[in-house]
């Protein structure tokens, strides 16, 4: 006949084993979900980066075409942008 202590110990071991199994399955499920999420996020970011690259390339080509057709305006725009950026940098550096 099994002693009450032995029976309690067996019950505890069964409950502990079931809890460990549950924990392991939950952890595996969470890891699997995280893997799927990160994979999907990586694919989406890759697609966004590709679209951004394509858009940037189109803008660069349009800018080059504009400068070839209007060199004076291109120089004036570049000088204006340079002056604005220079002024902003000077103001930013003076504040420090």
> Quick one: tokens of 61?
């080509």
pLDDT for 39-81, tens place per residue? 888 899 999 999 999 999 999 999 999 999 999 999 999 999 9
Mean pLDDT (the chain, rounded): 87
With beta carbons less than 8 A apart as the criterion, state whether 66 and 74 touch.
yes
Query: For the chain, what is the largest distance between any 2 Cα atoms, rounded to a whole number of angstroms?
Result: 104
Domain ranges of the chain: 8-70
* pLDDT at residue number 34: 85
With beta carbons less than 8 A apart as the criterion, state whether 31 and 38 touch.
no
Q: Is the dihedral of CA 35, 37, 40, 46 positive or negative?
A: negative
- The whole-model pTM stands at 0.45
């Amino acid at each position: 006949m099994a002693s009450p202590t032995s029976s309690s110990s067996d019950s505890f071991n069964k409950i502990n084993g079931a809890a460990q199994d549950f924990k392991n399955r939950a952890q595996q499920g969470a890891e699997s979900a995280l893997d799927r999420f990160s994979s999907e996020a990586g694919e989406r970011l890759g697609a966004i980066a590709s679209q951004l690259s394509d858009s940037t390339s189109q803008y660069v080509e349009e800018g080059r075409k504009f400068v070839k057709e209007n060199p004076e305006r291109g120089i004036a725009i570049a000088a204006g942008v340079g002056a604005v950026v220079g002024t902003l940098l000077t103001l930013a550096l003076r504040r420090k």
